[in-house]
Chains A and B, each alone.
Chain A
């Protein structure tokens, strides 16, 4: 059974960038999408983007984050990375990666299970 382990907490200055990684163990990521979401303190869940690792497909990004977020995959380390640039204090949140329940383009491609443990990103001057 796949487990997703994320990198540790980060503290960043406004205007800088942050890179959060999500490493899969137990199964490969082949043909399953990895989605990135975030949750600001005391708030709900917000979708940032997704990638089908190691495929020819381009990542998809939420309009809100277009141009600021980049999702990529590293086959050699079974890791998916999310980089967010031009950070603002309101980007302070816990960032989660989650795998789709089923293979890409299947009926179960649209549900998220399992999830990583979350990575707290704090943006403060």
Chain B
């Protein structure tokens, strides 16, 4: 079965830090990967799609990279509003979409 594995499962950081979250696919998915941010009690929000394209309105401190099986989400200069849970999503097995288990970013 296909899996997306995120690491770490949680990370502690401070305002102003640079943070990198990794998503590893069990099979190659080219660049069919997105990243979402979810705050408690809220719906997820699309940040990055096609591995590295920034969604409209998302601050440029968010960036994505990778292809094949290894992907990263990087947040430079963390802001207080960035503390949330982040999910990666695979999209190359239309119409079935798989999410990673999430990475909690906390202070």
Contact = CB atoms under 8 A, between A and B. Distances in A.
Contact of A44 (B43, B49, B100): B100
Interface in A32-77: 35, 44-47, 50, 60, 62-63
A45 B32 contact: no
17 contacts: A44-B87, A44-B101, A46-B99, A50-B95, A60-B95, A60-B96, A62-B96, A96-B43, A96-B44, A110-B49, A110-B97, A111-B89, A112-B34, A112-B44, A113-B45, A117-B43, A118-B43
Nearest to A59: B95
Contacts of A12: none
Q: Which 9 residue pairs of A and B lie closest in terms of their CB atoms, listed nearest first?
A: A110-B91, A115-B43, A113-B46, A60-B95, A45-B99, A111-B49, A47-B97, A44-B101, A111-B34
Contacts of A109: 94
B102 interface: yes
B74 interface: no
A6 B98 CA distance: 23
Interface string A103-122: 00001111111011110000
Interface of B: 32, 34, 36, 42-46, 49-50, 55, 87, 89, 91-92, 94-102
B46 A116 contact: no
A113 B102 contact: no
Nearest to A118: B43
